[in-house]
Amino acid sequence: MLKIGVLALQGAIQEHVKAIEASGAQALGVKRVEELEELDGLVMPGGESTAMRRLIDRYQFLEPLKEFAKNKPVFGTCAGLILMAKRIQGQDTAHLELIDMTVERNAFGRQVDSFEADLMIHGVGEDFTGVFIRAPFIVEVGPEVEILSKHNDRIVAAKQGHFLCAAFHPELTDDYRLHQFFVKMVQANKEVVA
Amino acid sequence: MLKTGTERVKRGMAEMQKGGVIMDVINAEQARIAEEAGAVAVMALERVPSDIRAAGGVARMADPTIVEEVLNAVSIPVMAKARIGHIVEARVLEAMGVDYIDESEVLTPADEVFHLLKSDYTVPFVCGARDLGEASRRIGEGASMLRTKGEPGTGNIVEAVRHMRMIQGQIRKVVAMSEDELMTEAKNLGAPFEVLLQIKKAGKLPVVNFAAGGIATPADAALMMQLGADGVFVGSGIFKSENPEKFARAIVEATTHYQDYKLIAELSKGLGTPMKGIEISTLAQGERMQERGW
């Protein structure tokens, strides 16, 4: 069975574990660098990106995560998407720099502006409920990046090679289509490597 | 169709805070220290609970200048406290764009009979609870997040432990009951039947439950995580300690790695004197903040 990790430093970890298991893969919380070893893919959950980054630095996770991402699929939601971006608006530095895109944090406003909206996600399906919580959006993407979904002309989901990201929280709904999509990416990647 | 203030969006916000530490701050500088240390949110206050305790008198919502200052200083969520039942303080904080409101017993209650109808607001609320009855009543009113009441501003963990053990034990009992026993349990706890039914079906509370009220060391934070807390609030403990930066970082790490005892030993070295603390039995009934609210 495929083994997919969920970076478990902070945030909504259990919800991703549940969604991955419902999508037919084994899910494991990852708190230590050595736990990355056996994984076929990794989810970076929603939470507070600044808090996660502090913990990533404190436990020397940054380089091992970048190394892992070189040939294993990664899926980031909300804060996870921010961690994956090459550029963050208003900041000189970014985090893992995996996807060629510029993101804006808290781009829809504060918590009172958090919302739910129906989305169409290319390759995944229609009528997907996007739960946006103090969410970022993708301001612009490089030529290699495939735009999967937009909300009011703003990019909210994208894919680049074996990287997937969403500005919303599929883990907060019972709709596992996006997780199933990622599990398929992990499966395909494993077959190529094998 | 775009919907704001839905139950999922309000509860979901608290889900994103899980495994994290929410720190009390009284100005922009402290807020920045908290953010830098890895706090998942800050609680903007005029005074931390131990100072409220020392000052006596009526404790109210913070001066909006302080809340505004903190809102502008950090990119992490900002929470603020309103008095129990104070509809206008809550609406004012909501209008200011605060991310979460704590309807808090740390402030002097404005209403001794009714809590806020929290489902009426777009902004989510966190409320304190000592047992499952109180927790369920707050959920019934629309709270999107809970925390133990503990005994704020004492630096004494004993009440937070009592409340967390109580709530977890009562949840286990409800889960083990057969459905035809639930109505009597609802009556005994003073809990809405529907909320208990939800708890029974899900095997857990429908909202996130943090620990609060008396956490003074990294080991205290880790203890509360082991007892089943989803995260911790640290009030007076951090900025009343000798080295707030170091102390804040240590609490954050101990919360993430709450079962790594070697690490917690390392983190606990040389933190300086924690807040002195108060033995609960020396507090008169009227000084016990946890008795506020119902």
Q: Which residue of B has its CA nearest to A118?
A: B1
Facing B123 at nearest CB: one of A14, A47, A111:
A111
Q: From the candidates A10, A56, A118, A168, which should be mutated to test the interface with B, based on the most B CB atoms within 10 A?
A: A10
Residue A130 contacts B where some CB pair is shorter than 8 Å: no
Number of A/B CB contacts below 8 angstroms equals 121
Facing A131 at nearest CB: one of B9, B39, B98:
B9
Among residues B274, B275, B257, the alpha carbon closest in space to that of B266 is found at: B257
Q: With pLDDT > 70 as the criterion, what percentage of chain A qualifies?
A: 99
Cβ separation A112–B97 shorter than 8 A: yes
State residue B235's pLDDT score.
86
Provide, as residue numbers in chain A, all residues whose Cβ is less than 8 Å from the Cβ of B94.
112
Residue B93 contacts A where some CB pair is shorter than 8 Å: no
Catalytic residues of B: 81
Q: Which residue of A has its CA nearest to B93?
A: A112
State residue B33's pLDDT score.
97
State residue B236's pLDDT score.
85
For residue B1, how many other CB atoms are within 10 A of its CB? 6
Residue B250 contacts A where some CB pair is shorter than 8 Å: no
Q: With pLDDT > 70 as the criterion, what percentage of chain B qualifies?
A: 100
pLDDT band per the 50, 70, 90 thresholds, residue B294: confident
Q: pLDDT tens-digit profile of A51-104? A: 999 999 999 999 999 999 999 999 999 999 999 999 999 999 999 999 999 999
Query: pTM to 2 decimals?
Result: 0.96
**Virtual torsion, Cα B177, B182, B187, B193, nearest 10 deg:** 130
Facing A105 at nearest CB: one of B15, B75, B98:
B75
Residue A154 contacts B where some CB pair is shorter than 8 Å: no
Provide, as residue numbers in chain A, all residues whose Cβ is less than 8 Å from the Cβ of B123.
111-112
Provide, as residue numbers in chain B, all residues whose Cβ is less than 8 Å from the Cβ of A9.
19, 256
Instruction: Tell me the C-alpha distance between B242 and B131, whole Å.
Output: 34
Residue A110 contacts B where some CB pair is shorter than 8 Å: yes
Residue A16 contacts B where some CB pair is shorter than 8 Å: no
Residues A118-131 have a mean pLDDT of 96
* Contact residues for A186 (Cβ-Cβ < 8 A; gap 6+): A2, A4, A25, A40, A41, A72, A73
Residue B38 contacts A where some CB pair is shorter than 8 Å: yes
Instruction: Tell me the C-alpha distance between B154 and B248, whole Å.
Output: 18
State residue A128's pLDDT score.
97
Catalytic residues of A: 78, 169, 171
Cβ separation B257–A31 shorter than 8 A: yes
* Contact residues for A149 (Cβ-Cβ < 8 A; gap 6+): A119, A120, A121, A122, A128, A130, A155, A156, A157, A166
Q: pLDDT tens-digit profile of B234-259? A: 988 898 888 899 999 999 999 999 99
- When the pLDDT of each residue in chain B is averaged and rounded to a whole number, the result is 95
Domain limits, chain A: 3-193
Cβ separation B40–A10 shorter than 8 A: yes
Superfamily per CATH, domain A3-193: Class I glutamine amidotransferase (GATase) domain (3.40.50.880)
Q: Which residue of B has its CA nearest to A117?
A: B2
What does each C-alpha distance from A139 to B22, B115, B254 come to in angstroms?
A: 30, 42, 36
Cβ separation B37–A115 shorter than 8 A: no
Cβ separation B100–A111 shorter than 8 A: yes
The domain B5-166+203-267 having CATH identifier 3.40.50.1970: the answer here is no
Residues B101-119 have a mean pLDDT of 97
- What token pair was written down for A30? 């990852």
Residue A131 contacts B where some CB pair is shorter than 8 Å: yes
State residue B84's pLDDT score.
98
Whether pLDDT at B1 is above 80: no
Strand ranges of the sheet holding B78-83, from the earlier edge strand across to the other edge: B208-210, B145-148, B125-129, B100-104, B78-83, B41-44, B21-25, B232-234
Whether pLDDT at B38 is above 70: yes
Residues A146-160 have a mean pLDDT of 97
Residue A12 contacts B where some CB pair is shorter than 8 Å: yes
Residues B183-208 have a mean pLDDT of 98
Cβ separation B9–A132 shorter than 8 A: yes
ipTM > 0.90 (yes/no): yes
Facing A11 at nearest CB: one of B4, B5, B18:
B18
Residues B132-145 have a mean pLDDT of 98
* Contact residues for A78 (Cβ-Cβ < 8 A; gap 6+): A45, A46, A47, A133, A135, A136, A166, A167, A168, A169, B16
Q: pLDDT tens-digit profile of A7-60? A: 999 999 999 999 999 999 999 999 999 999 999 999 999 999 999 999 999 999
Q: From the candidates B7, B15, B42, which should be mutated to test the interface with A, based on the most A CB atoms within 10 A?
A: B15
Residue B210 contacts A where some CB pair is shorter than 8 Å: no
**Is B214 annotated as belonging to a binding site?**
yes
- Tell me the shortest Cα–Cα distance from B39 to chain A, in angstroms: 6
Residue with tokens 């998942």: B40
Provide, as residue numbers in chain B, all residues whose Cβ is less than 8 Å from the Cβ of A133.
9, 12-13, 16
Residues B126-152 have a mean pLDDT of 97
The pairing of beta strand A41-44 with beta strand A26-30: unpaired
pLDDT band per the 50, 70, 90 thresholds, residue A127: very high
pLDDT band per the 50, 70, 90 thresholds, residue A194: low
Q: Is B212:B150 a contact under the CB 8 Å cutoff? A: yes
State residue B144's pLDDT score.
98
